[in-house]
Structure 1
């Protein structure tokens, strides 16, 4: 194998011309397309990063909203329990007050009826006493007859 410098120079010139033509007509547009693709991929990465950040923020907000809703539900349940207990206590107090009022009314009615009965009994006893006295005055009787008369009138009052 021999070395020919003319071939080497010719190959080098051909290579440089080919490189110049490729760089002018092929590498430039190819690099432009590659740069556009790089920029497009970079934009998509940035967009996906923003979307991921927004999704994380939305997830955080949803978790906070869910926690707040749970807290509000718990508060509503506690308030309902408190209200129910208060209403139950009020109903018990009202029932006790009503029972006390009815008992007091019954005691007053009983007392009134007792007083009426005592007054009626006194009236009857006094009428009987007057009747017995008038009978005794009409006839003078001995002690035995007097006792029989009193027993007879007591039986009438009792019956």
Structure 2
């Protein structure tokens, strides 16, 4: 086996020409396609990260909106409870006032009727007293007869 330096030079020259042709026509477009692909992947990763951040922000906003809605619902319920309690107190107070008013009217009516009854009774007693006195004067009777007459008139008054 002998070493031929011409073959080695031809091989090196052929290799350099092949490398230059591959670099010009194959590696350049291949590397450019790979670079575009790398940029696309980086862009998609960036877009995915941005979308993830936006989703996280929206999720937080939704949580806050839900929490706010719950708070508003709780406030509405509490206001309704307070309003119903106030209305119930108002109704009870109105009923108490009405009962007190009716009681006062009943007491006034009773007092009025009592006064009328007393006045009527006084009138009757006065009339009877006059009648008794006139009968006593008409009949000058003894003490025993006078007592019987008074008892008889008292019975008449008691029966009326």
Residues in 2 aligned to 1:124 and 1:99: alpha-carbon distance in whole angstroms: 37
TM-score by length of 1: 0.95
Scaled by the length of structure 2, the TM-score of the pair is 0.94
Matched residue, 2:74: 74
In structure 1, what is the Cα distance between the partners aligned to 2:80 and 2:35?
66
2:60 paired residue number = 60
In the alignment, structure 1 segments of 5+ residues that lack a partner are none
Is 2:14 the partner of 1:14? yes
Cα deviation, 1:30-54, whole Å, max 9, x if unaligned, reads 1121111111111111110110010
Aligned residues: 159
- Answer yes or no: is 1:3 the counterpart of 2:8: no
How many Å separate the matches in 1 of 2:75 and 2:116?
60
Gaps of 5+ in 2: none
* Structure 1 runs of 4+ with >3 Å offset: none
Query: Deviation at 1:17?
Result: 1.0
Larger RCO (CA under 8 A, 6+ residues apart)? 1
Q: Whole-Å Cα distance in 2 between the matches of residues 79 and 8 of structure 1?
A: 99
Root-mean-square deviation (CA, aligned residues, Å) is 1.2
